[in-house]
Each structure stands twice: as structure tokens, then as C-alpha cells.
Structure 1
Amino acid sequence: MAAPGEFFAGIPKITYLPSAGPADVLCFKHYNAEEVLMGRKMEDWLRFSVCYWHSFCGTGADPFGDQTHQWPWNEGTPMESAKKRLRAAFEFFTKLGVKYYTFHDRDMAPEGSTLEESNRNLDEITDLALELQSQTGVKVLWVTCNLFAHPRYMNGAATNPDCHVLAYAGAQVKKGLDIAKKLGAENFVFWGGREGFLSIHNTDVAAELNHMASFFRMAVQYKEKIGAKCQFLIEPKPKEPCRHQYDYDAMSVIGFLKHYGLENHFKLNIEPNHTTLAGHSYEHDIVMASAFGMLGSVDSNTGSPDLGWDTDQFPMDIRNTTMVMKTVLEQGGLQPGGLNFDAKVRRESTDLEDLFIAHIGAMDAFARGLRNAVHIIEDGLIAGMVRERYSSFSHGLGQKVEDGSATLEEMECRSIHVKEKTALK
């Protein structure tokens, strides 16, 4: 019998049943949270997180059709439904067995008619969130501010041509950081949903980038002032809704941060669906960010490259999850980041059970990817091939190139005495 106030009645806590048949969909067949791989539990390598906006605020609406998801927590006044939504979410987290969740400020509590009212709403709902976190042990992986949906942000937030709008965004981020500290969030994400341009003819690119850097510096200063411990993350995206967004891909963000001297304060939250929108392979930005020591977290989803827009599907391709987890293993983990399922059930998925099935499938896909990645690393074949490929840099002139002491004169001297066929090996 369902407990009073239970939203997912009839759905038990999801357990690991590797021998379950194909018709058994409410169990993990590959994700074994307690299994130890390379000295760490599977759950600690994967650090799964459920995103609040798609799973509990999503309605199934799209640009061509209205709401299809009639969830029971969306009843009552905006504040009443916000409280129901939060209780439903924590029931889901605990039954699914994840330890983290993520949210935008405006997902958690409705926006008021004034900033003060919005802040009061957020205070009230996050008081309940703090209570539920204490009861369940579920934590906040990251908080972010919605600086793109309201009409005031139609021309951007930190890059808006009107300083009044930038100021409002700054006030919203200030409150967001207060909430992140209150809830013990391990990270804080900046997603520049409209930080870009539609027409270059009315855009001062240099000014907008300078303003964005100033905005980030203010955030760094305030975080230090209040003693918040969260890692700052920037999430790249190339386009949609803007024609061009400044945080185009990992290398664009890394270049921006280094140019403005912010690289020690930020890492990257990579969403592979965004990476493929930039024309890269699924794992490209994850590998590039990690190579610079800048990979902080992953929004674990996928898209359909043939469609060309951000579809936020649950990741089910084992090749993709293997490549992601190989990079994660090689850098020693994602902590304090994690794998956040920034994904939504389809418009036609109208059963509450579908929320569980989608997350279970994605968690199993990453568990399989993790095991594959462990095998790749432990057998050492690929690593050995890579070492052999670059072996000429381990001694002599190659070693001098490696440590930065080689000169062009030495390059010339070496090349004069090397036959072409040797150089082409």
C-alpha cells in the first residue's frame, strides 16, 4: 500500500538484479553501486545526479505542441506545486538510489513580480529542500541561475547591452550563491544561454566579452566573501538560441578564461549534446577539457546529430559512455563534479514509470562504459601503442622539444642528416 503523500506508488526502490529478464525494466542490470573498480566504488566513479528541470518541471511541450505530461505535483498555486514537486523529486531520488541533484533557481521556486518576492520564494522552498536533504542524505551537485528565459534576458545577461539588465543578473547570481552555500552545493554552473549574438552588425563583441569577464570576477569575489566552497563551472554551447554563443566549445571557454586570467577559478561542465552541435565527436570536449585539467563535471545526455538541435536525450550508446569514462578514470575522477542526467523523457512518454526507466537505462549504460574503460586501462594495449607512437620524444632532441629547450638550429642540424623515408615513419 502506498504511503500517504507518495507520488510514485507501486514503484519500489530500484535494486541491482543482473539476472533479470528483458521484461524487467525497474531494476539495474549493470549498475552495481557497491562494486569496487580500480580501488573505488562504482557509485563514486559515476556520481550520478538527476536534473530538476527536465524531470520535474518539464511538461512535454515543444515549439509545435502543448503540454502532454500531467504530473500530479503540478497542482495548486505556484508555491504549493513547488513544494509538491520538491517532495516528489526527493521520493524519486531515494527510490532511484542517486545521491545528487541539480537545479536552476527558477526551477526550485517561482519567479515573483519583484526580485525581493523571487528571493523570498526561493528562501521558503530551499528551507524545505534543506530539510529533505537532511532526511535523505541526498546532496546538491550544482546550482545554476536561469539567466535566459525571462524576457529581460532576450539580449543576454552578462553580455546585455543594457547595464540595468546586467545588474539584475548579478543580483540573481548573488542570491544563487547564497542558496548554493545554504544547501551545501558542491558546484555552481554558469550557462550562457543567451550570451552571444544574432547579428554582428549591432554587436560590440570586445565590449561584451569584457563585460562577461567582469561579471565572472564579481562572482568570484562574492563567493570568496561569503566563504562558499563550490567549484565554479562554465557550460559550453555553440548555438541555439543565439546564432553564435561565446562559450562555443571547450577550447573557446578555456581560451576566454586564460585570456582574462580566470582559469584558476573555473572548470568546465561539458554537455556532449552541445559538443555534437559544435560539429565535434561526442567525447571531444570532455577529452579537450581534461587535457588542460579543466574538466569539472558532465551533463550526461546525447542528441541526434542529424536533427541539428539540442534534444537532451538519455545516453544509451555504450561506445560513447566508454569514451567518457576512460577520460574520467585517466584524470582520477570527476569529484566534486559528477554525471548529471540533463535529459528528458520524450513528449509521448506520459507514464510516471517512464522517468525511472529512462534513468535506469542511462545509469546501466554508464556502468557498462565504466567497466569497459577499466578493461581498456588495465590491459594497457592502447596506452602502450600511444607511448610507442611518441617514443621519439623520450630521449635526445625529442626530449629537448618536450622540455622546451630545443632550438630551430638544432631542428635544422637534425633534419639535414635524416633521410626522408626515416622522417616519414
Structure 2
Amino acid sequence: MHKKDLLNNSSIRGQITTFVFRKNLNNKMLDIQKIRADFPILEQKVNGKPLIYFDNGATSQKPRVVIDAITKYYEEINANIHRGVHTLSQLATDAYEASREKVRNHINAKEVYEVIFTSGTTQGINLVASGMASLVKEGDEIMVSAVEHHSNIVPWQFLCEKTGAKLVVIPMKENGELIMSEYDKLLSTKTKIVAVNHISNALGTINPIEYIIKKAHEVGAAVLVDGAQATPHLKPDVQDLGCDFYVFSGHKICGPTGVGILYGKEEWLNMLPPYMGGGEMIKEVTFEKTTYADLPHKFEAGTPNIADGIVLGTAIDYLNEVGFENIQKQEKELLSYATEKLLEIEGLKIFGTSENKTSVVSFNIEGIHPYDIGTIIDKLGIAVRTGHHCAQPIMNYFNIPGTIRASFSFYNTKEEIDTFVEAVKKAKMMLS
């Protein structure tokens, strides 16, 4: 389309937010090579070797449709939203709000205004924790789990320091599962909010979220679910789960960095005060008094990350075209294969051995620091994560400095795992 045609073609918003790249893919065997061709970065070499990207738990790679959608926005629409009467502003607004509706549909939120755009999971958790300060008092209890990412620990510590509330921790087992019998004992009428991840970033454990939510609601507590590691692997149904808040990041689901989602039940979002003040989140401003905008704008002060908010919808379209049943099947096979092959290496121990886990293998080799393994295999073109993975309490539990974490996505292959295992063996031989 020529730019001169833009003003006469409002359908451009659909072109930005929707890409039909493959028909009838759902519920069929994935053609992994065709899938891999969607991701330009997978074609490059690192240190002279073909890239093997096993750091998907940190961020996923982006398909061409997502990359192109970002460019298309800046070339053909770029304008501020919600404020302009001119055509470009209206197109940008329509595309942005269409993306919000895609998110609502994807997670099955009841109302579109229950979907708040954020900069990512961390901001979403901080927004809720900050707002809860008006609802929590000294002697109340905030509950987290032993397998949380730091971003679902520290904001609640801030809240406890501010209000005098107490932080309570659900303990874990050796296999990385939470001890539900202890959770039951810890719950009480003092519990005001339970904040727990859907899937552990460090261990891959899938937590029993439905049970946690049900029991918390029985004592009147709200529940925030950190879905950062879950949304790449499954479609959360927030109404079916019954959670009060659900947060996730775009960059882990093949979308851009710098954008994320906070879902909140309408009644809870109405109880929380605004997180930031400025433009967009107001209804009327005078020097005497300011009144706030309705949901969702009450929590979206200032010019948002418009392009990435729009393109988040493109990423969601892409994953739904691939199909989450297909994604889960592929990743389950990769997890099983990698686990079997790695355990053949003498001295290797896997941390996080729950039967109910996603495609993450976190491991160490006896007598070797994880950083050293990661450094050597990087020279062979293999990207993994080493360290504590922003989950130091887990590492303290196992009395280790960190782990080597290989996290797989649907575009990875068993052949890549074979190369990875051989690289780990080589690194072990060099470091022993």
C-alpha cells in the first residue's frame, strides 16, 4: 500500500494487528522447519556455529510477522492515541484497543476494561502491591511461595515494610513442588493476598493454581498469579481459574519487550488507587481536586508503549495460529528427550523434578560451577542461562550458587538437544 492511500483505508489497523500466515495449522503435526523459518534470528551463527537458542525462559525469539508489524506501525500509522481527532491518531487508537480486545479474548477476561497495559510482569505486580497498601494493615499477612521470581517477592516486601504486614512463605519440596498441606495450615483470616507464580522460571514446576485460588478465596484472600512463565506454554482462562489478578509479559510470548498485561477483576481494580498520575488517567483536573478516569485508563498514565501494545496482539495471533495444543505437545517431547539425554552424563543433577512441569531443565554437574559450563557452550553457539535466575531463595534451599537452565520453545528441535548434550559433555571434560 502506498502511503498516499493510508488516509482512505482505515483497514490498515487490521493489517497491523492480524496476520494470516498459515491456514489450518491447529491440531496438526507441526512442520518444525517451516516454523523455524518464521524466526530470522535462528538462521544466524554465533561464534561461527549455528545458533541454538535455549534461553526461552528469559525471552522468546520473535517471528517475522511481529518484526514486520513493528516496522509497519512506525512507517504507516505512528501517532499518539486517545487524544487526536486526526486520522492517524484514530487509526492508532483503533489498533491499540483492538489489541486489548485480543488479549481479553485470549485470556477470557469478562470485560475488556479489566485488561491493563503495563511495561511487563514486574510493573503489573508492583502496581497491585502498591495499591494494596490502602487495603492492608499491621498484623495482616501477605503470602508468597518458595519458588517465586524476585519480582513476585520484593514488591510484597515493600508492602509489608510500608504497612506492618507480615510476609508468609509456602514451603517447597526437594522436587520443586509446593507443600500444599503447609499452605492449608498457613492460610487464615489474616491472609489478605496470595501471590504465586503459575510456573516456576527456575525449575519449570507447574503450580496447582486452581487449588491455591480456591483455598485462598475460602478465607477471603485475593490471589495474584504471575503468569510470565506460563503464557508461552498455555492459554490461561482467568474466569475459569477465578484469580483476582493475572500478570504476564509480551516478550516471553514472541512479542516485543517493554509491554505486558495486568488482568484484574473489575471490583478489585476499582478498589485500588491509581499507580501513577499524569495524562490519560484523569477525568478532570483542577488545582483543588482531580478526578480519575474509568477503567482501564485509570492505570495507564502518560503516553503508552503504543507500537508494542499493538504488536502484542500480532504475537498472540501468531501463537494461536500455531496452536497451544501443538506447542505443548512439541515442548513435552523436547523436555522428555532432553531430560533422558542429560541424565546419561555422570555427575549431572537436575533440580526441579516434578512430574507436572514445563519445558525447562535446570541442572548442575558435580564439582563444576554453572557459569563455567555456560561460558564454554556459548563458544559453541549455544545460549543457555546460568546463575540464580532471579530466584535466590530456591538456590539457597538447594545450597547451590545457581544452575544451568536450558528452556525450550516449540521452535527448538531434538537435533539441537543432541548438539547441546555433546557440548555439555565436552565442557565437563575440559573442566574436570
How does the TM-score come out when normalised to structure 1?
0.25
User: If each structure's strand is expressed as a fraction of its own residues, which one has the higher value?
Assistant: 2
How does the TM-score come out when normalised to structure 2?
0.24
Structure with the bigger RCO (C-alpha within 8 Å, sep 6+) is: 2
User: If each structure's helix is expressed as a fraction of its own residues, which one has the higher value?
Assistant: 1
